[in-house]
Amino acid sequence: MNKPILELKNVQTLVNKGTANQTKILKGINLQINAGDFITIVGTNGAGKSTLFNVIGGNLRADGGQILHNGQDITRTSEEDRTAFLARVFQDPKLGTAPRMTVAENMLLATKRGEHRHLIFRQLKQNMARFTKLAATMNNGLENRMTTATGALSGGQRQALSFLMATLKRPDILLLDEHTAALDPHTSLNLLHATNERITTGHLTALMITHHLEDALTYGNRLIVLKDGQIKADFKGEAKQVLTVDKLYQYFED
C-alpha cells in the first residue's frame, strides 16, 4: 500500500505557552492525505482551521506530534524549505503576488518556487504564449492583462493569478485558505469552478477551507469537520455524496 502523501500524527499546538492563559488549539490531530485527495474543511471560528494550515505550511511549529511528507518527518522543517513541495493561496488577494511586477513576470517567478531565485527575468517572451493560455483558463480576462502590473488588477483577477502561481509548478500539497472569501459572489463562483477544474484535471492534492457548507458539499472527494481543535468527522466517497447541509449543521451544535 502506498504511503500517504502527507500524514499528521497526534499533532498539537499551544498558545500563550508557559502562562496561566496557555491554551491548546490543535488537540491531537490525526490525518492521512492521499495523492489526489481534494479535501474541503469546515468549522466554526476558532475551530483551528487556519492553525492547521499554518502547521502544515511550516510557519507555525507543532508543539507535539509528527508531520510526515511521503513518509519523511518534516515536523521541524522550515516554511521556506516546504515551498519545494507545498503551495498556499490566502484569503487576501494582495498576498501571494508581487504588485509591481506584471502578470507574466509573476507567473515566471512562480516557475521557480522552492528554488534559489534571482530577480532576472529570463525567457519571459518564450513563455508568454504558455502563460497566456493558462491565464485564459481562469475565464475572467486575465489573459488580456499579461503586461499589466499585478497591483492594477481587480481582486478577482489577482486572486486567480495567485491560484495559477500556486499550481504552475505542480505542488505535492495545495492549501486553499478561504481563497474566495474576499470576492463578490459571482467572482467567487467563477474562481471556484476554475479551481475545481484545475485540481481535478491535474489530479492535484488539495485542502480547501470554506465557511460555505454548500461549497464544502459540492467540491472535493472528502469533507472534514473541525471543531474545538479536533477532527469530528471525515466524510469520504458515498458518505460525502449523501451528506446534506442539515446533517452537516448538526456538527456545529453544542
Percent of the chain exceeding pLDDT 90 equals: 81
Q: At residue 128, what is the residue type? A: M
pLDDT computed for residue 96 by the predictor: 86
For the chain, domains (ranges, CATH) are 1-85+172-254 (3.40.50.300), 96-170 (no CATH)
CA 141 to chain centre: 23
| Residues 153 and 185: beta-carbon distance below 8 Å | no
pLDDT one-digit tens code per residue, 129-159: 999 999 999 999 999 999 999 999 999 999 9
Residue 1 pLDDT exceeds 80: no
pLDDT one-digit tens code per residue, 55-89: 999 999 999 999 999 999 999 999 999 999 999 99
pLDDT one-digit tens code per residue, 164-223: 999 999 999 999 999 999 999 999 999 999 999 999 999 999 999 999 999 999 999 999
| Residues 231 and 250: beta-carbon distance below 8 Å | no
**Cα 241 to Cα 218: distance, rounded to the nearest angstrom:** 9
Q: Is 24 helix (H, G, I), strand (E, B) or coil?
A: strand
Packed helices 103-110 and 155-168: angle between N→C axes, nearest 10 degrees? 30
| Residues 97 and 150: beta-carbon distance below 8 Å | yes
pLDDT computed for residue 177 by the predictor: 95
| Residues 15 and 22: beta-carbon distance below 8 Å | yes
pLDDT computed for residue 102 by the predictor: 95
pLDDT one-digit tens code per residue, 114-137: 666 555 556 788 899 999 999 999
What is the pTM (predicted TM-score) of this model?
A: 0.93
Mean pLDDT, the chain, whole residue set = 92
pLDDT computed for residue 173 by the predictor: 97
pLDDT band at 101 (very low <50, low <70, confident <90, very high): very high
Residue 80 zone, left/alpha/beta (φ > 0; ψ -120 to 50; rest): alpha
Percent of the chain exceeding pLDDT 70 equals: 96
Q: At residue 194, what is the residue type? A: A
- Residue 131 to residues 98, 111, 118, 200, 202: CA-CA distances in angstroms? 16, 11, 20, 20, 16
pLDDT one-digit tens code per residue, 38-52: 999 999 888 999 999
Specify the pairing of strand 64-69 against strand 6-15: antiparallel
